[in-house]
Amino acid sequence: MPRKQSHATIMQQGVTHALECHRICEETITHCLQAGGKHVEAAHIQLLTDCADICRTAADFMVRGSEFHPAVCAVCADVCERCAIDCERFSGDEQMAKCAKACCECAQSCRQMAGALA
């Protein structure tokens, strides 16, 4: 029978995913600015920036054990899902695929934090 993960383990995974997504979104912003064209559309850059910021904020709230972390994690999951969808439209671009993957993983982790641990 599989052992259920502890609250601390789930929280640590959430922090890890959020910080990784923050880092990759920041790297992707630089990639997009260098690539030009559709990569630098204002809405796309803004979404990447929003995603990076909310991921860092969610990680901070989880680390502090803030009573508001479930609400922040729910917003983080929403933003990460939107960012993943937006990044996926750049088919054939390795960095964009990497960003979409990180966003999906963070969204899943944050949904768990927002729901199961609320």
Where do the domains of the chain lie?
8-115
* Cβ 118 vs Cβ 89: under 8 Å: no
| pLDDT at site 1 | 44
**Token pair 């996926």 is at which residue?**
88
| pLDDT at site 118 | 45
Q: Round to whole Å and give the CA distance between 22 and 31.
A: 14
Residue 58: partners with Cβ closer than 8 Å, 6 or more residues away? 14, 18, 69, 72, 73, 75, 76, 110, 113
| pLDDT at site 5 | 66
Per-residue pLDDT of the chain (118 residues), as tens digits, is 455 667 788 889 999 999 999 999 999 999 999 999 999 999 999 999 999 999 999 999 999 999 999 999 999 999 999 999 999 999 999 999 999 999 999 999 999 988 854 4
Question: Residue 6 carries which side chain, given as an amino acid letter?
Answer: S
Indicate the CATH number of 8-115 among 3.40.30.20, 3.90.550.10, 3.30.420.40, 1.20.1270.360.
1.20.1270.360
pTM of the predicted structure, to 2 decimals: 0.91
| pLDDT at site 3 | 54
Residue 37: partners with Cβ closer than 8 Å, 6 or more residues away? none
| pLDDT at site 34 | 97
